Amino acid sequence: MTSRFHLCCRRSLAVLVLILLTTLGRFAAGETPEEILAHVPTVPTPLLRERLVSKYVVILLSKYHYHPQNITPAISAEWFAEYFNSLDFNRTLFLESDLEDFRSFESVLWDQRTMTANLDFPFKVYQRYLERARQRALFSIAAIANAHDFSAPETMTADAKDLPWCKTVAELENLWRQQVKNALLVNRLQEEKDDAKKKKAAEKIDVGGAAKNGNDDAPAAPAEPAPAPETTPFPERLAKNYARNYLRRAEVEAINILEIYLTALTRVLDPHSAYMAPETKENFDINMRLSLEGIGATLSTKDAYTVIVGIVPGGPADRDGRLKEGDRITAVAQEAQEPVDVIEMPLNKVVAKIRGPKGTTVHLTILEEGSSTPTLVSLVRDEVKLTDQEAQSETRQLTLPGAGPANVLIIYLPSFYADFAARAKGDPDYKSSARDVRKLIEKAMADQQPPDGIILDLRGNGGGALDEAVELAGLFIPTGPVVQVRDSSGKIDRKEDTNPVVTFAGPLVVMVDKLSASASEIVAAALQDYGRAIIVGDASTHGKGTVQSVINLANVRALSHATSRMPDPEPGSLKITISKFYRINGSSTQVKGVTADINFASFLDQLDLGEEKLPHVLPWDQIQPLEYEAVNETAKALPGLLEASQKRRQENPLFREYQKDIDFYANFRADKQLPLELNERRQHQEDEDKTVRMFRKFQAQRKNARKRNTVRTDDGDSEDIDVADAQDLILEETVNIMADYIRARQ
């Protein structure tokens, strides 16, 4: 290691440590940044377990992945690049010369002759990674105490993952300086906002006290989670975070490095496959078992962030209303504790920090989708009851010009669920989404005024049990195929509706959005292909048309025999993509999803959501269509319905405002530069807050259009939104489309 970067950093190390000692105070329990950074970066040595796990993970991928491939030199080169990207997604640690130093490994990460993976490469690269992380921490902590000119015109790139690697030390150090300056600037603006909130709260107390004297019987406000304490000055907390981030990377076992390395390979094949080390698999299992407890959110990893990918209906996050898909969690704090930075922390460790006993409070610092300003969201952990996720319905009574009254049944289905345990025991009345929807329809049909049309709202429905999707589609069609599932060998399994009973045969509209995925897409696609339903909503659905399975490596005979003789034998698991969904017309739902027959502009289309936004996605393709008897109820009416809907939206001032908000949101997100000048950043933050309010306004309207609910405003206060004040624009226009459709069918 004789590169110029190494020599430069050795010379400056003593100076940087001296600055740390003279500019920063001591922290709790005698833990100082300089003491943390005294840890010399070393990596563990891969042993027999790591060698065997890497061998059999590659073998399993080459045999059982949906698109099995041998590790050719070209695949090896992609694996090489993905490993560097996994370690340093935002191009803030490695130099271009670092990649060149390891270029000899690029095409030889797998030896086909000996069936072994090259483990020298990942561990040597991780050693360099630790050295760079330590150098960054030392530089950044020293930079905290420097004078930063917030009046100078300067910007930084918010997302550098697509930029080239830095060529020089000076380029890297400039990035580090900008990141420190940005953190200090964000904190300064946050303190301004906090001071304004305190002033506003004091004014409310004065006014509220006078009001209370006149009404002693007024109900007390509901208790809210206590805010996370921040007793340590921000510069000291920032310094400790830099040091701890380095230490977290340094305190790693060989199996954890292997996890990053092998998952880099699985990502080359597709974004949903992954190798899970034993600890990750354990947390994965716990998360699955306790999926209905905690904050009620589904988490995943994107770049260096833990990202919200789903909100469980009825859970604490759903009731609170502030978290949404795409939000990034940057820090987690427990009750009476300071926040812990979780950027670049493994997902299983973040999940462990968020998970906790019912009734306790967790404080999440988040960056909302499209925002660079942190927001604190405090949630009381709670149990999510199954009833909160069940299908619900309401009936709208319409007056059709020239045709008299009509009833529309709106069914809201947030997920495809089933009580598998009760079903396995033979319980004839086990809970299931398809059964619940059928019961809602049958109850409505038994009324004196049965529904003339049904709207099935699958917006935000991320999927669930495949059998439930098939059964649900079968409520609206005669017998016939619903979906095709193709495995890696080319074998195709067709899932069919075998029940000849059609629960409802009248006009049907299905609502979808960018968050409708998997089973939702199967239902929408089948009903569209049969010509049985008109699909309305976002331009297309999520586009996840793949199926994953988890292989416990302990069950691989050759691996289990060898690891049984080791002191730490647990080999972990492989999550692997094994099959793909296809519509009955032969088209895959992968990437393209389901295209709406009548689409609306959407905030979700402006976000990095959808399968097509992921790297290394399996492509869209087609297979042989099935023979099925289409009913073709929609084709004749659709052109007229589309024309009438477009005309209404053009004339509706609320839709014009909605489109204007989306355009503003899209233009703001297109700018990837963050101003580091104080006044420009204030304006940027105001615009940022404006975009967040736009997004939340529509989400709140949609969420509260059916019921009175309590949501939180942007300043953290609670307020009631009444039914009269909340309007789901997309649903209201869908009801209008249904009214037109009923008339067209009469």
Residue 29: count of CB within 10 angstroms of its CB? 5
Q: What is the pLDDT of residues 633-655, one digit of tens each?
A: 999 999 999 999 999 999 999 99
Active site residue 216: no
Q: Is the pLDDT of residue 347 over 80?
A: no
Selection from 269, 275, 276 nearest residue 72 by Cα: 269
Q: Is the pLDDT of residue 620 over 50?
A: yes
Lowest-confidence pick of 158-172, 337-351, 526-540 = 337-351
Q: What is the pLDDT of residues 452-465, one digit of tens each?
A: 999 999 998 888 88
Selection from 141, 121, 349, 329 nearest residue 252 by Cα: 349
Active site residue 372: no
Q: How far apart are CA 246 and CA 155, in angstroms?
A: 26
Q: What is the pLDDT of residues 79-92, one digit of tens each?
A: 999 999 999 998 99
Q: How far apart are CA 723 and CA 708, in angstroms?
A: 6
Q: Which of 98, 382, 529, 597 is catalytic?
A: 529
Q: Is the pLDDT of residue 32 over 50?
A: yes
pTM: 0.83
Q: Which domains does the chain have, with CATH numbers?
A: 4-148+160-183+236-264 (no CATH), 293-384 (2.30.42.10), 386-601+610-628 (3.90.226.10), 651-745 (no CATH)
Q: Which of 140, 518, 540, 602 is catalytic?
A: 518
Question: How many residues are present in the chain?
Answer: 746
Give the model's pLDDT for residue 699: 67
Residue appearing with tokens 């009254």? 405
CA distances (Å), 286 to each of 97, 113, 120, 290, 291, in order?
42, 39, 33, 6, 8
Q: Which of 495, 544, 592, 703 is catalytic?
A: 544
Active site residue 613: no
Q: What is the torsional sign of CA 600, 605, 610, 615?
A: positive
